[in-house]
Structure 1
């Protein structure tokens, strides 16, 4: 019987989400031949962690579900043991990249990959705390249904479990590396108020994540489809497509990766305070022509209030600005990965970490003039909006050089972590996530 890791990284109050995650775990165990490790990686405040622990205690017992609630102290202890055993000459730096100060969307999922490896799980199935499941006629629509039908199977063998397939012959012999859906509801990036206030400014801002040399038409098309997910159409009936999945059609709140093919091979970029840094593997799967399944059990996206006022607003807009700056480097890597194609894989159809690390490291030599122009355009746009956006423009102006340096440094960190990843995974597989009581400090 295979084991899977259904994980929720969180830094906010979300006991209702945890209860729903428990229901998805039960669905997986009841409908598939799997043991489910339900993993909550908790970076929230003490009172919220207590509420999360209570939500986990209230889950109905199930013989094939094991819940793991790891706060940051426990995560740090696990990572200290893993990095020390990894063989790296820089264990302290790796620890900082795996559990940094500040928000890192890539690092929290990387921790899930390592804990899953420690638990003997074949796959990682990620959900987000600011999302919820759809339901039809009282039945909840769980994405894990499609994930477990296909993930890890030879693509040709997975065809009977999907609605349709458009795979060419070559990829049909590879294993399904990723299964994902998208979301319905609010935009995945919290900038709808910019769109509502001034559509022209919204276009100017969103188009900044395109390569600078794209035509106006391509940028306009990108703006129209960016961050919208699957729109607002509710789920009515299942549809799944076995394909090389378009990265624009899936979201990290609704995703599963096969460990041996992807998650145990290449980590996510550990950039601090940068939205979108956790989407890299979706691009890798696509560019390497690894099979995936795109399904329509979309999750409902919504926003909590803390990112829309005061310090939360400034912090979120900083993450968005850093996302725009990161694209100078990511577009370079994505273009080179698309050119590399099948050579991104080894003879067993698994991602090659050395190929990815080399491209990430090469990107750090790019001229930053394009990013200087991005910051200029963002400053102009936000000052046109006025109010808190103008205040953010003032903050941005005082941090320009630092932000430019951080964007480049984040890619160097990604290259280093990718080079060390195999050693970290191997060490994790011999390291229990929680020390036995007799071995506690």
Structure 2
């Protein structure tokens, strides 16, 4: 029987999501020969954590479903033990990269990867607190169904459980490294207001994540395809495609990984949206098989983003996303050129190659990022109101944002080099994780 980790990182109230993901874990054990570890990594305040504790306690007792609800103190204790056992350099920095005091989408998922390994789980299945499941005939349609049909199997085996295959037969003996889908509902990035206010400004802003040298036509195509997920299509019947999955077709609220997450972590950048999407690109560029299914999750926005403080914080993360793309576009280009050479003889990703590409990117001229900030400033001032206020904020912190974008990549390279020792150490102390006894 294989173990899987169904994980929910959260820093906001989401008792309904906890109930729903508990149902998904129960579905997994009822339909597949698995032991499902439901891992809730909770960075909420004390009152919200208590609310979540009650939601966890209300989950029905289901055979082969094991629930772990960890606050940041418990997560930090686990990380300290893992880092100490791993004997990696700069242990305090490693702790900061794994559990920073600022929001990090990559770091919270990295903690899930590390804890899943310690629990003996061979795959990680991630959901988000601001999403919910679609339904058909009154029943929720859980993505874990397609994930467990294919994940970790050879492509040749997985071909029997999908609707169609677009995979070259030369990949048949590789194992399916990723199964995912997307979302329906609101844009994955909270910029719908910009689109309604001024479509031209929307184009100017969204096109900032393209490389400078792209043509207008290439940028237009990217803008048209960005942040929309699966649009508004509702689920009708299952469809699953075995392929080298296009990174634009899947979302981190609806994703699962096998093996690749144990080889390379996600960038631990703070206050940066999109920092958790790296492995989706890596799976594609390394020519690892994946499955794209259509059990899309429903995306919605929480009220916090509508407050003035929430708006400013989110737009700052959005700006840092654009700045990060100077480096990630370079890394993605190098990965695409390397292709199968990213894998070793056993079909595992070579982490040292990825770390090398990341380090190489930090030597890039920042002029392109200066131009990005200039264009974003002009766009936001044209919109006026709170967008102009945001432009003032970004202008005040311009040098810091430029420096952080570069240092974020340097730290990603450092963490990538330490990832294998950390993974081994986590597995060493795994049997003691549930009880908290010393390793």
**Under a length normalisation based on structure 2, what TM-score does the superposition of the two structures give?**
0.99
Specify which of 387, 391, 394 is matched with residue 393 of structure 1.
Answer: 391
What's 1:176 paired with? 176
C-alpha distance in structure 1 between counterparts of 2:433 and 2:45, whole Å: 20
Counterpart of 2:45? 45
Distance 2:429 2:14 in 1: 29
Give the Cα separation in 2 of the matches to 1:439 and 1:123.
Answer: 25
Q: Give the whole-Å Cα distance in 2 for the aligned partners of 1:438 and 1:311.
A: 41
- 2 CA distance for matches of 1:438 and 1:288? 39
Partner of 1:126: 126
Distance in 2 (alpha carbons) for counterparts of 1:111 and 1:437: 16
Instruction: Give runs of aligned pairs for residues 427-438 of structure 1, distance below 5 A.
Output: 427-432=425-430, 434=433, 436=435
Equivalent position of 2:421 in the other structure: 423
TM-score (norm 1): 0.98
- The worse-fitting range, judged by mean Cα deviation, of 408-417 and 162-171 is 162-171
| In structure 1, distance between residues paired with 2:253 and 2:241 | 19
Question: Distance between the aligned counterparts of 1:166 and 1:281, measured in 2?
Answer: 21
Report the alpha carbon displacement of residue 352 of structure 1 after superposing the two structures with TM: 0.8
Q: Deviations over 1:374-423 (max 9, x none)?
A: 00000000000000000000000011110000000000000000000000
Question: Could you tell me how far apart the structure 2 residues matched to 1:349 and 1:106 are?
Answer: 24
Q: CA shift at 1:90, angstroms?
A: 1.0
Partner of 1:365: 363
Describe the SS at the equivalent of 1:8: strand
Distance in 2 separating the partners of 1:125 and 1:157:
20
Contact kept, 8 Å, 1:74 with 1:434, in 2: the verdict is no
- Alignment partners' CA distance in 2, 1:419 and 1:438: 28
CA distance in 2, matches of 1:311, 1:431: 41
| Aligned counterpart in structure 2 of residue 333 of structure 1, from 331, 334, 350 | 331
* Change in 2 beyond 3 A, CA 1:438/1:251: closer
Asked if 2 retains the 8 angstrom alpha-carbon contact of 1:265 and 1:422, the reply is: yes
Measured in 1, the distance between the counterparts of 2:320 and 2:153 equals: 37
Structure 2: distance between partners of 1:61 and 1:306: 33
The answer to whether the 8 A contact 2:211-2:329 is kept is yes
Question: CA offsets per residue over residues 154-196 of structure 1, 9 Å max, x none?
Answer: 0001101000001112211100000000000000000000001
The residue that corresponds to 2:82 in the other structure is 82
Give the Cα–Cα distance (whole angstroms) in 1 for the partners of residues 433 and 144 of structure 2.
Answer: 26
Please provide the CA RMSD for this pair.
1.0
Q: How does 1:201-220 map to 2 (within 5 A)?
A: 201-220=201-220
2:319 to 318, 321, 336: 321
- Give the corresponding residue for 2:373: 375
The structure 1 segments of at least 4 consecutive aligned residues displaced by more than 6 Å after TM superposition are none
Q: What are the residue-to-residue correspondences of 1:267-416 with 2, within 5 Å?
A: 267-416=265-414
What's the CA shift string for 1:112-156, capped at 9, x where partnerless? 000000100000000000000000110110000000000000000
Counterparts in 2 of 1:202 and 1:119: CA distance versus 1, 3 Å: same
- The offset of 1:436, in angstroms, is 3.5
Q: Is the 8 A contact 1:83 1:91 kept in 2?
A: yes
Unaligned runs of 5+ in 1: none
Q: What is the alpha-carbon distance in structure 2 between the residues aligned to residue 206 and residue 400 of structure 1?
A: 19
Distance 1:204 1:41 in 2: 37
